Structure 1
Amino acid sequence: MVVYEATVYTGDRIQATTLNSVHIKLVGTDGESDRTWLKSLVIFRGSVSTYTVSCPNSLGRLLLIELDKRQFGFLPDDAWFPDKVEIKSPEEDVYTFPIHCWISDQETHRYREGKALRIFDESHSLGQYARQQELSQRSLEYDWEFYGPGIPYTIKADGAMTLPDEVQFSFTKTTEFAFTAATGLAELRLKGLVDNQENWKTLDDINGVFRNKDTPLSDYVQEHWAEDWLFAYQFLNGVNPTLIRRCKTLPENFPVTDDMVFIPDGSNLLNELERGNIYLCDYKNLDGMPANIINEKQQYLTAPLVLLHKRSDDKLMPIAIQLKQTPAEDNPIFLPTDSAYDWLTAKIFVRSADFSEHQLNAHLLRTHLLAEVFAVSLLRNLPMVHPIYKLLIPHTRYTLQINELARERLIGPAGVFTLFAASGREALPKILARSLSSITYRSLCIPDDIADRDLQDLPNFYYRDDGLQLWSIIFKYVQRVIKYYYKSDDEVQRDSELQTWIGDIFKHGFLSQLQTGIPQNFTTVSELIKFATMVMFTCSCQHAAVNSGQYDYGGWMPNTPATLQRAPPTKKGTTSKSTILETLPPINVTAQGMATVWLLSRRSSDFVSLGDYPEYHYTEETPRQLQTDFKSDLDKLSIMINNRNKDLEIPYTYLDPKNVENSVAI
């Protein structure tokens, strides 16, 4: 008789304790143990408990364990969250089995030993069988669902609570999210704002909507929102830094002339174009989109073009705005030299267009929906023992549930965005489809994107500066991990699971559109490294850049109106303070919008920052050391960013690694 020592680590999270009977079976190359009861009346959260499993003979090299739990007597059935199980063999070998998921049913669950294995590393038939069974089961649990023409597929689910336990929010996250959502709207109802469809009588009246929920930056934006420099600054370091690009030649549909614009220091538009000092923001993605009807009133959504000039003092300033794509007499080009109300009205229409472009393209599509595609394809096609699964699974945390909630509460038929944004209802799926059709792989990789937009030397562009450094750090980490497991291009090509994974992403995420440039397969190690880096960057850094500042810049509604109630002016000299108030969203729309961006900007107490790995999926020494090195590099960058921010009037904090969540979780 030989004895194995089983040490069970239960997660230190609310409701992880179980009153059920837990059983274990050990499976090795030379046999398996009997199903053995772990003799505990209660396995408590955060506990580390050791048990013995006896066998007639040695089981050889351990391949997997089987765990199950059964309701005990009259005690209630419950869920249990084991982190890992360590087995010490009679030969003094220690095997680690990562779990990190809920066991809430009475089925038998198999978990592999923690050493990462590619499919062609599986030398034993039991390992091959377990791998196949895991993927067969996951393909049922994580199925694709068609969401709409031209839009990425989503997880097939009947609401957030039907998702598998392992991808749902923690109890803490669920409670805090529900509390924040409920208290925000309750406060607004008490103030009588939720159902009030009247227009604002003065801008000062808007102050009372969320008086106790302002942030230092939202206060600053409220004070300076009408100033040209802050309008321009937001294209660099606001919530949508992905649109601006250098302009060497004016678009044919934007006929700005030298005599229209004022260029300081005796220069002119032609010279500044040649010098590379002119920049363009083009909202053509929104052209022709049908605007929503809100409060039984037609809303308005424009597709502006904005011209900006980098002055000799390195400050970026707007110099011309055209609110619609097609030049015409009733589509004037607005200038800073126009009346104050004309110019402010033009900027308000741009900021409202930016709300739609940001929310639907930069935020929803390019982070949330793509992160969901990456998560579902990972769970369907790569088993837990695969090295790329271990690399990327931390960056899928909570993504499937937050997206299901978004489809229920934000972009579904009764969602806030659907009901209260100019680009809600009919326009929403059309904008998503148009955005996906124009997406490129290069635009998802920040070094390529910055180069393609020709923004390498634009001053005061902190999104670029911090983003490029983060990409470099992530790339270094990913490269070292992948090269540890893949020594040659041939090994990448031989990994059939890897090829199925990227093929699934290409088909269901990018709808097999060749013009995107998304890989359909991997032929080299370098291709795999770049793609995995893009996935990590998108799910963490890019989402932080376009999400975290939503309340900072949108908490003061006039700076980022979700909709506008009056048509854009067709003639100069027709605007006033009263027309601006008539154009801005009414009270109930303002209240709903501000409650939403407040909710989406709140950090949960179980926030996991980039580089923190509370769940260790890798068990080998080398990749774990690489994770430690990765975190060290991120900490150094955080110090650099904080030192720079001390000298900035508006600190750029969204890409400080300590503020970047590991996944799309809000």
Structure 2
Amino acid sequence: MVDYEVTVYTGDRLNSTTWNPVHIKLVGTDGESKRTWLRSLVIFSGSVSTYFVSCPNSLGQLVLIELDKRQFFLLPDDAWFPDKVEIKSPERDIYTFPIYCWINNSETHRFREGKALRIFDESNFLGQHARKQELIHRSVDYGWNLFYSGIPYTIKADGPTSLPNELQFSFTKTTEFAFTAVTGLAELQLKGLDDNRENWESLDNINDIFRFKGTLISDYVQEHWKEDGLFAYQFLNGVHPTLIQRCKTLPKNFPVTDDMVFIPDGSNLSQELKEGNIYLCDYKNLDGMPANTIQGIQQYLMAPLVLLHKRPDDKLMPIAIQLKQTPAEDNPIFLPTDSTYDWLTAKIFVRSADFAEHQINAHLLRTHLLAEVFVVSLLRNVPMVHPLYKLLIPHTRYTLHINELSRTQLVGPNGVFTKAAASGGEALMKIMARSMSSITYRSLCLPDNIADRDMQDLPNFHYRDDGLQLWNIIFKYVQGVIQYYYKSDDEVQQDSELQTWIWDIFNYGFLSEPQTGIPQVFATVPELIKFVTMLLFNSSGQHAAVNNGQYDYGRWMPNTPPTLQRPPPTAKGTTSEATMLQTLPPINVTVRGMVAVRVLSTQSSDFVTLGHYPEEHFTEEFPRQLQKEFKVELDRLSITINNRNKGLEIPYTYLNPKMIENSVAI
């Protein structure tokens, strides 16, 4: 007889304990053990327990283990969350079996030994069969659903609680998320205002109510929101830094002339265009969209064009705003030299349009929904033993759960967007479907995106500077892992699971549109490295950039109104403080929006920072070393950003790795 020493590591998350009998079977190249009871009355959360499995002869090289948990007599049928199982063979070899999932039924669950294997590495029938069976089960558990025509497919599910347990929020995350949402009004000292449909009487009235629970940046925004400098700054370093682009030739539908605008130091618009000092924000994506009706009142959503100038002191300033796409007498071009409220009202309409474009395109579509596509395709097509699964699974945490929640609590019939945003209701899905036409592979790859917008050298563009450094760090990490497992282009081409994964993404995420430039197959190692870098960056850093500052810039509603309830002025000289207040959303809509951005900007206590890997999916030393080096590089970037921020009036923190979560989790 020979003995195998079996050490079981149970997760320390809440309710990981099981009172049910657990059995194990060891399967190797030369045979298998009997199904053996792990003789414990109870397996506790966080416990490390050692057992022995006896066999008549050596099992050869261990390939997989089978675990099952059966209800016993009157004991409750509970769930168990094992982290991993380590086995020491009679030959003194150590085998590690990563698990990291809930076992909550009486079925037999198979787990592979931890060494990463591509499909063509499988040298025996046992591994080949286990791999095939795993993907058959996964294709059933993770189906595609067409949520709305013209946008990426979603997971087929009946709400977040129908997802497999390991994909759902932890108890901690669920409790904190619900608490923040439910207590938001009280926490922000806004209780009693959520039913008040009256308009704001004055800016002082808004100020009196919004003086609570501010941040350093939200307080700054509240004080400076009227200023042109802050208005322009937000296109670079606010929550929507992806729209602005250099303008060398004015759009034909934006007839700004040299005589209209003032350029300091004796220059003019034509000269500044030639010198590359003019920038454009064009909200054409919103043109013609049907604005929502809120509380029986028609709302208004414009599609502005904004012209900005980089002055000799390197400050970016707005110089012209047109609120509709088609030039006309009733669509004046507003200028900083206009009356105070003409210019301020024009900027308010731009900020409201920016809210819509940011939330629907930059945030919801390009991070949340595309991340969901990446996750579902991974789970459907790539087994746990595959190196790509081990590389990417930490960056999928909570994504499916938060997206399922958003489909009810955010964009559903009773969602916040429907109840409080001009771009909610009928407009939302139409805007998103139109936004799909602007998605290209290059636009998702930050270095290409910056180049295509010609934004390489504009000063004070912290999103670009931090983002490119972060992209390079992620690229180096991904390159190291991929090149360790794929030594040649031929190996990439041979990997049928890899090819099925990217085809699923192209088909269900990008709707089989070749003009997007999204790969349909992987032909080379560099192609694979770039795509995985893009995926990881957008599921972590890019999401942080467009999400984490929502409360900073949205808490003071006049800076980012989710809706406007009067049409824009059709002539100059017709605005006043009274018309501006009548245009802004009423009290209760303001409050709902404020609570929403508070919830979406609040980290949970089980936040997992980018580069931290509490679950050990890789067992080989080399990729584990790469993970350590990845974290060191991220820590260095964090120090660099902190030092830079000490000299800034408004610190830019959203791409500080310490503030970035591993996945789209909120």
What TM-score, normalized to structure 1?
A: 0.99
CA separation in 2, counterparts of 1:363 and 1:418? 17
Would the aligned equivalents of 1:199 and 1:585 in 2 still touch at CA under 8 Å?
yes
CA separation in 2, counterparts of 1:502 and 1:84? 29
The within-5 A match list for 1:409-488 is 409-488=409-488
**What is residue 366 of structure 1 aligned with on the other side?**
366
Kindly state the Cα deviation for residue 192 of structure 1 after the two structures are TM-superposed: 1.6
**What is residue 139 of structure 2 aligned with on the other side?**
139
CA separation in 2, counterparts of 1:207 and 1:157? 43
Would the aligned equivalents of 1:188 and 1:194 in 2 still touch at CA under 8 Å?
no
Residues 648-657 or 69-78, more deviating = 69-78
Amino acid at match of 1:413: P
**What is residue 565 of structure 2 aligned with on the other side?**
565
**What's the secondary structure of 2:540's corresponding residue?**
helix
Identity over aligned pairs, percent: 79
Amino acid at match of 1:255: P
Kindly state the Cα deviation for residue 19 of structure 1 after the two structures are TM-superposed: 1.2
**What is residue 262 of structure 1 aligned with on the other side?**
262
**What is residue 647 of structure 1 aligned with on the other side?**
647
CA separation in 2, counterparts of 1:216 and 1:458? 26
CA separation in 2, counterparts of 1:211 and 1:123? 66
5+ residue gaps in structure 1? Answer: none
Residues 638-647 or 66-75, more deviating = 66-75
CA separation in 2, counterparts of 1:545 and 1:263? 32
Kindly state the Cα deviation for residue 212 of structure 1 after the two structures are TM-superposed: 3.2
Q: Quickly say closer, same or farther: Cα 1:294–1:189, change in 2 above 3 A.
A: farther
**What is residue 350 of structure 1 aligned with on the other side?**
350
CA separation in 2, counterparts of 1:342 and 1:335? 9
Amino acid at match of 2:504: D
**What is residue 377 of structure 2 aligned with on the other side?**
377
**What's the secondary structure of 2:539's corresponding residue?**
helix
**What is residue 606 of structure 1 aligned with on the other side?**
606
**What's the secondary structure of 2:317's corresponding residue?**
strand
**What's the secondary structure of 2:115's corresponding residue?**
coil
Would the aligned equivalents of 2:332 and 2:570 in 1 still touch at CA under 8 Å?
yes
Would the aligned equivalents of 2:190 and 2:591 in 1 still touch at CA under 8 Å?
no
The within-5 A match list for 1:395-414 is 395-414=395-414
Q: Quickly say closer, same or farther: Cα 1:294–1:644, change in 2 above 3 A.
A: same
Would the aligned equivalents of 2:31 and 2:59 in 1 still touch at CA under 8 Å?
yes
The within-5 A match list for 1:59-98 is 59-98=59-98
CA separation in 2, counterparts of 1:643 and 1:324? 42
Residues 227-236 or 202-211, more deviating = 202-211
CA separation in 1, counterparts of 2:515 and 2:331? 33
**What is residue 178 of structure 1 aligned with on the other side?**
178
Amino acid at match of 1:355: F
Give CA deviations for 1:500-522 in whole Å, capped at 9, x if unaligned.
00000000000001111000000
CA separation in 1, counterparts of 2:431 and 2:439? 12
Q: Quickly say closer, same or farther: Cα 1:59–1:346, change in 2 above 3 A.
A: same
CA separation in 1, counterparts of 2:489 and 2:208? 61
Would the aligned equivalents of 1:150 and 1:437 in 2 still touch at CA under 8 Å?
no
Kindly state the Cα deviation for residue 188 of structure 1 after the two structures are TM-superposed: 7.2
CA separation in 2, counterparts of 1:612 and 1:452? 32
The within-5 A match list for 1:162-561 is 162-185=162-185, 191-209=191-209, 211-561=211-561
CA separation in 2, counterparts of 1:605 and 1:34? 42
Kindly state the Cα deviation for residue 73 of structure 1 after the two structures are TM-superposed: 2.5
**What's the secondary structure of 2:212's corresponding residue?**
helix
Q: Quickly say closer, same or farther: Cα 1:8–1:95, change in 2 above 3 A.
A: same
**What is residue 116 of structure 1 aligned with on the other side?**
116
5+ residue gaps in structure 2? Answer: none
**What is residue 129 of structure 1 aligned with on the other side?**
129
CA separation in 2, counterparts of 1:135 and 1:486? 22
Residues 412-421 or 109-118, more deviating = 412-421
Q: CA RMSD in A?
A: 0.9
**What's the secondary structure of 2:630's corresponding residue?**
helix
**What's the secondary structure of 2:337's corresponding residue?**
coil
**What's the secondary structure of 1:212's corresponding residue?**
coil
Would the aligned equivalents of 2:24 and 2:35 in 1 still touch at CA under 8 Å?
yes
CA separation in 1, counterparts of 2:107 and 2:207? 55
Kindly state the Cα deviation for residue 13 of structure 1 after the two structures are TM-superposed: 1.1
Amino acid at match of 1:653: T
**What is residue 14 of structure 1 aligned with on the other side?**
14
Would the aligned equivalents of 1:292 and 1:426 in 2 still touch at CA under 8 Å?
yes
Kindly state the Cα deviation for residue 204 of structure 1 after the two structures are TM-superposed: 2.1
**What's the secondary structure of 1:570's corresponding residue?**
coil
CA separation in 2, counterparts of 1:78 and 1:523? 46
Give CA deviations for 1:281-309 in whole Å, capped at 9, x if unaligned.
00000000000000100000000000000
CA separation in 1, counterparts of 2:424 and 2:443? 25
**What's the secondary structure of 2:502's corresponding residue?**
helix
Kindly state the Cα deviation for residue 77 of structure 1 after the two structures are TM-superposed: 1.4
**What's the secondary structure of 1:365's corresponding residue?**
helix
Number of aligned pairs? 666
Amino acid at match of 2:164: P
CA separation in 1, counterparts of 2:608 and 2:397? 9
CA separation in 2, counterparts of 1:265 and 1:176? 55
CA separation in 2, counterparts of 1:210 and 1:319? 30
CA separation in 1, counterparts of 2:605 and 2:326? 49
CA separation in 1, counterparts of 2:554 and 2:313? 28
CA separation in 2, counterparts of 1:15 and 1:571? 64
Give CA deviations for 1:537-573 in whole Å, capped at 9, x if unaligned.
0000000000000000000000000000000100000
Amino acid at match of 1:448: D
Would the aligned equivalents of 1:188 and 1:591 in 2 still touch at CA under 8 Å?
no
Kindly state the Cα deviation for residue 207 of structure 1 after the two structures are TM-superposed: 3.3
Would the aligned equivalents of 2:210 and 2:556 in 1 still touch at CA under 8 Å?
no
CA separation in 2, counterparts of 1:238 and 1:189? 26
**What's the secondary structure of 2:149's corresponding residue?**
coil
CA separation in 1, counterparts of 2:318 and 2:133? 59
CA separation in 2, counterparts of 1:210 and 1:312? 36
Give CA deviations for 1:66-118 in whole Å, capped at 9, x if unaligned.
11111233221111111100010000000000011111111111100000000
Give CA deviations for 1:1-39 in whole Å, capped at 9, x if unaligned.
110000001111111111111111111011111111111
Would the aligned equivalents of 2:396 and 2:663 in 1 still touch at CA under 8 Å?
yes
Amino acid at match of 2:416: V
**What is residue 160 of structure 2 aligned with on the other side?**
160
Kindly state the Cα deviation for residue 402 of structure 1 after the two structures are TM-superposed: 0.2
Kindly state the Cα deviation for residue 202 of structure 1 after the two structures are TM-superposed: 1.1
Q: Quickly say closer, same or farther: Cα 1:208–1:617, change in 2 above 3 A.
A: farther
